[in-house]
Structure 1
Amino acid sequence: MSLLTHVLACLFGMGSWVAINGMWVELPLVVHAIPEGWYLPSYLTVLIQMANVGPLFITLMHRFRPGALDERPVIYFIVGLGIVATFLLSFFWRQTVTIAGSLHSVPLLILSFLLSVVDCTSSVTFLPFMMRLRPQYLTTYFVGEGLSGLVPALVALIQGVGVVHCKNATLAGNGSSDNSSVVGTDELQAIYQPAKFSVQVFFVFLSAMMVVCLV
């Protein structure tokens, strides 16, 4: 029973930051398919900071209504929200909306914000819940929390995220010599290799990991 509890505590900890960690490691595949491109990491950083409204709400509840907030319903809610958000992300991450004449990945940004709320709020709800158990399970929980970054990274490595090869590309330019000759300039061009499985499959995997967290 003790071993089973340790395993469950580890799985519980893995659900804390797995969604956002998974989003970060998948960026090399995502940015090339959306209008924001490599501006997306900056947007994600802003969204994660905005998502601290979740921990702020929990903190204010404990401050002004001590004992009124039970962590267990909150945990079920945020984990359920994380499951739904990651699952929807697998289908809508490439969808765009036209705003002010330009395309924006609104579904991706909204779902990323919801996942940020889930992960940020987990920091102030999971740990108080674990305090109800024996102290030795806290160590296992923190191990699982560390694995929430390691496991998505390993899966992304298996997927082949960001595998790139360089090849010579010749750019032709007009010369300025008397006979108007054309001068060729060699340049290395990055060619991104296709992943072993799609971004959609990866996000479904993240959703499955959130489901495991509920166990």
Structure 2
Amino acid sequence: MEWTTLNFCSNSNPIPLESLTVCDCPNITSLPLADEIARLSALRVLTITNCPNLISLGRYREVETTNNCHLMLSDLTISDPSVLLMEPLRSIASIKELTIEYNDEVVSFPNEAEQWFLKVRSSLYELRFSDLKSLESLPSTLESLSSLHKLSIDVPMLRELPKLPPSLKRLEIWGRCHPELKERYKEDGGSDRHKIAHIPSIFIDP
């Protein structure tokens, strides 16, 4: 059977779901998160990866705002940055951990996605970019993430980092990263090492 949407039980009872993972569903086009937002107050961890035809997270009522949004996610994993622009994720400012992974097509972040990071600048604590085979640049708005403590990067085409926030305590540059990126920021003689010198803990995989 080819699933095109996911539905919850049609009643008014709260859904005691703390974690939801939807992955490797190439035919799914819609998830009813916005429709059931009042019933998903327990949801904290959401993963949506490898769902290339997803175009909607439900019908989000405009009367809902960030201040009265019932959905209080803390951990979000996605493969398509455009998901960040779908309601209710577009209006959520509670994300503490964000992972963007498993995407062969994204080269850079569109302006709207970059602006989304500003909405979580006071909450986002940990950020990971992994297995993004074509990504050449990170969001320029990372500098404004005043609560960011950990940044992990494992993408092969990235050659340079944007300005990073003073709050950052840990930077990880993993093995699949471009050799030029590693060379640029290495401890001994890296041409741009001074740009990350404020970070107390730096790991660069050889």
Pick the TM interval, shorter chain: under 0.3
TM-score for the superposition, normalised by structure 2 = 0.19
TM-score for the superposition, normalised by structure 1 = 0.18
Of Structure 1 and Structure 2, the greater strand share is in 2
Greater RCO structure (CA 8 Å; 6+ sep): 1
Q: Return the index of the structure with the highest Cα Rg.
A: 1
Of Structure 1 and Structure 2, the greater helix share is in 1
